Amino acid sequence: MKTSPKLEEHGDLAEQVVSVIVTGAAGKMGREAVKAISTEPKLQLSGALTHSTGLGRDAGTVAGIEPLGVSLTDDLTTLLAQVQQPAVLVDLTRGEPAFAHAQMALDAGLSVVIGATGLSGAQVESLASQASAQGLGVLIAPNFSIGALLMMNFAAMAARYFNWVEIIELHHDKKADAPSGTALKTASLIAAANSQLQAATPDHAARGQLIEGIPVHSIRLPGLLAHQEVIFGDPGQTLTLRHDTLDRSCFMTGLLLSIDKVQTFEGLVYGLEKLI
């Protein structure tokens, strides 16, 4: 990861207003993002993309706040052509749309924050190559919650002392992907910290999906938002780490930090925990 030449091109970014385009702006996370960005004096919501929900309406009104003078649109090409630099695209959609949005934004000279899930390994590699070639930053953040980031770091610490671990991730019934991006990232961090992991009867159909040698169990139910348990075991003891997201507002501190950090490097960073 190298320092972005945008720091020199645009001078001190801390002294400038940064334009932000939010894709998925009418969704639950998108509405929270619109509210959070509107309260930051150094950020300016310059575009809000939606597939169909709220199309043509003011993004602020859809988010439940005062009108912001930014209408929800489905035309990302026009938004990118009109945005003033320095600028960041925040994508809160999923999978294929997120990948296409990020490619377009990089081509237009924008740094990109992706909170979307479902990107393939090949897509991540493609974005990494494109970002490096264009001297821009891409940050993929499976989770913007500071508490969740700490949980993942604590899990990596504990993994040095426990060879047995399983992950249970619990989300609302509308979440399309499973396992969650947070669970995948947690498993990756644990496996990197311990190459001696063990699992009982890992091939049994009821034992979850094996990720990096770790059984991961995905629960989808109404009434849940986003929760994860990491359970370590050793003879005579267990250690449980758990994080509970009770409201999407908890993601906004990390989201705003991501917008700031993604302008300071070039290439791709996977995981906000690497920048804090």
- Is residue 35 part of the annotated active site? The answer reads no
Question: Quick one: pLDDT band at residue 11, thresholds 50, 70, 90?
Answer: low
- Is residue 185 part of the annotated active site? The answer reads no
| pLDDT computed for residue 2 by the predictor | 67
What pLDDT, in 10s, does the model give residues 71-124?
A: 999 999 999 999 999 999 999 998 789 999 999 999 999 999 999 878 899 999
Start-end of CATH 3.30.360.10 domains in the chain? 146-245
Listed in sequence order, the DSSP H helices in 67-223 are 76-82, 95-107, 121-134, 146-158, 181-193
Start-end of CATH 3.40.50.720 domains in the chain? 2-140+249-275
CATH architecture of 2-140+249-275: 3-Layer(aba) Sandwich (3.40)
What pLDDT, in 10s, does the model give residues 13-39?
A: 557 899 999 999 999 999 999 999 999
Which of 159, 129, 37 lies closest to 87 in space, CA to CA? 37
Among candidate residues 101, 171, 185, 243, the one labeled active-site is 171
Separation CA 218–CA 117 (nearest Å): 15
Q: The domain 146-245 is classified under which CATH number: 3.40.50.970, 3.30.360.10, 3.60.20.10, 3.30.70.120?
A: 3.30.360.10
What pLDDT, in 10s, does the model give residues 133-145?
A: 999 999 999 899 9
